[in-house]
Amino acid sequence: MSDETAQIADMVLDYARRRMMSTDNPLDKPFSPAELTRLASGSIGEEGIGARRALALFENVLAPSCITTDHPQYLSFIPSAPTKAATAFDLVVSATAVYGGSWLEGSGAVFAENEVLRFLAREFGLPESAGGVFVQGGTIGNLSALVAAREHRARQLEAAGRPRPARWVIVCGAEAHSSIVSAARVMDVDVAVVPVGDSGMLRGDAVEPALLEHGDAVIAVVATAGSTNFGIVDDIASIAALKDAHDFWLHVDGAYGLAAMLAPSARHRFAGVERADSAIVDPHKWLFAPFDACALLYRDPHHGRLAHTQHAEYLDTLTETADWNPSDYAVQLTRRSRGLPMWFSLATFGASVYREAIEASIELARRIADEIERRPGLRLVRQPQLSVVVFERDGWEAADYAAWSDRLLDNQHAFVVPSSHTGRVNTRFAIVNPRTTFEQLTAILDTMD
């Protein structure tokens, strides 16, 4: 190893260590295009600027223009809160140069990832034969599962001697994540959106008419286990019960919320998941892994393999074996072993620590919801099921919420953006970080007076 390479490694590892070990990393905020053009242009050219200058540019300009997603007062969208162990091990994944697409090239990494997938499958009540793959995120996970569902339905109809429909249909609730519609667009299939009523929960009695109407065209029913906007869990049990009379693929989109099955207080909300044909959960959301990781599980992985295995002459040595190749189970070939950071963290700390951390978020959501109800001028939109708390400020319109949100970020107080539901503007706390405190949340509420 050259002296220059050693110096680069030392500089980068020193910065990574300082960043990981710091307990007061700033929240930071986006810079304007003009600011970044002024401060950061010209780094790429025929002659390099050197590692020291490049790292300084990142540390002093580029990183501060990115909001810190694991900050305890990052409360918008769905935050991320990786353990320090998972973050540190993410460096190891890159340094080891592991390829995670096939058993032949990365058997040890694949085995460790599968240990995590088996753990999750057991938590969700899926059979021991269940398995899958870690993919980039929930959008890719949902797409991959729905492609497998379509191929399974096509094979069913072919085996029964029934014709394929002119258009395939995915059935989902009105609160389903936008990635379901996105997947349908990519697949060129239709979406039958089922109303959910005031509860926001998709129920079996609302799904059944769609099954009867679309018949053989239905490739899957999607149940949401923790909607992004409200954290609402569909009535999965009543939807799964329809499988007794109707033959359909049940996919559970639990990108955010399915992690709450690890918490004893919330587990009852997910009854019926054990009957799912596929399910996803994003460890980079509420399972304390770094970006980007979605665990995609199939009840019968064979269906995933039939749908996704790529065939090419140079791949014969892989596809002609019975090895477990992760690339066979999703719409990807080349893949990083993105499940390893969670494996290391889970192996290091044990599942009970994860359960306690998730329970703490759920309890904090209940506490701050009670506080919002107690405060004059604030209105809780609905009681939280999991860890998303949505509320309104009396008399505020969209511009008021936007100005307040901007002030919070400008003052480095918090990152809380406006949201909306049924045409009404609101805001929300999405709580997944164990370092978020009740006092921090009440201090944010104080700024709304």
Q: How far apart are CA 303 and CA 309, in angstroms?
A: 10
pLDDT at 128 over 90: yes
Domains and CATH numbers, the chain: 3-67 (no CATH), 91-349 (3.40.640.10), 352-446 (3.90.1150.10)
Name residue 109's beta-bridge partners.
Answer: none
Residue 384 to residues 229, 266, 381, 415, 431: CA-CA distances in angstroms?
11, 11, 9, 20, 11
Single-letter residue type at 203 = R
Single-letter residue type at 328 = D
Give the pair of three-digit tokens for residue 83. 């353990």
pLDDT value at residue 149: 98
Q: Count CB atoms within 10 A of the CB of residue 395.
A: 7
Question: Percent of the chain having pLDDT more than 90?
Answer: 96
Tens-place pLDDT, residues 160-182: 999 999 999 999 999 999 999 99
Task: Please state the rounded mean pLDDT for residues 192-205.
Answer: 96
The strand order across the sheet containing 418-421 reads: 378-380, 388-393, 424-430, 418-421
Phi, psi (rounded to 5 degrees) for 338: -75, -5
Task: Please state the rounded mean pLDDT for residues 188-201.
Answer: 96
Task: Please state the rounded mean pLDDT for residues 281-305.
Answer: 98
Half-sphere exposure of 34 (CA within 13 A, CB side): 0
> Where in 96-213 does DSSP place strands (E)?
131-135, 169-173, 190-194
pTM of the model: 0.96
Give the pair of three-digit tokens for residue 338. 């993105």
Label residue 241 by pLDDT band (50, 70, 90). Answer: very high
Q: How far apart are CA 364 and CA 352, in angstroms?
A: 18
Tens-place pLDDT, residues 372-390: 999 999 999 999 999 999 9
Task: Please state the rounded mean pLDDT for residues 38-48.
Answer: 96
Task: Please state the rounded mean pLDDT for residues 145-149.
Answer: 98
Tens-place pLDDT, residues 110-122: 999 999 999 999 9
Least confident of 300-304, 313-317, 341-345, 372-376: 313-317
Phi, psi (rounded to 5 degrees) for 78: -125, 115
Task: Please state the rounded mean pLDDT for residues 412-429.
Answer: 96
pLDDT value at residue 259: 98
Tens-place pLDDT, residues 262-291: 999 999 999 999 999 999 999 999 999 999
pLDDT value at residue 83: 97
Query: DSSP secondary structure string, 204-251?
Result: HHHHHHHHHHHGGGEEEEEEEBS-TTT-PBP-HHHHHHGGGTS---EE
Count of all residues that appear for the chain in the document: 449
Task: Please state the rounded mean pLDDT for residues 429-434.
Answer: 98
pLDDT at 1 over 70: no
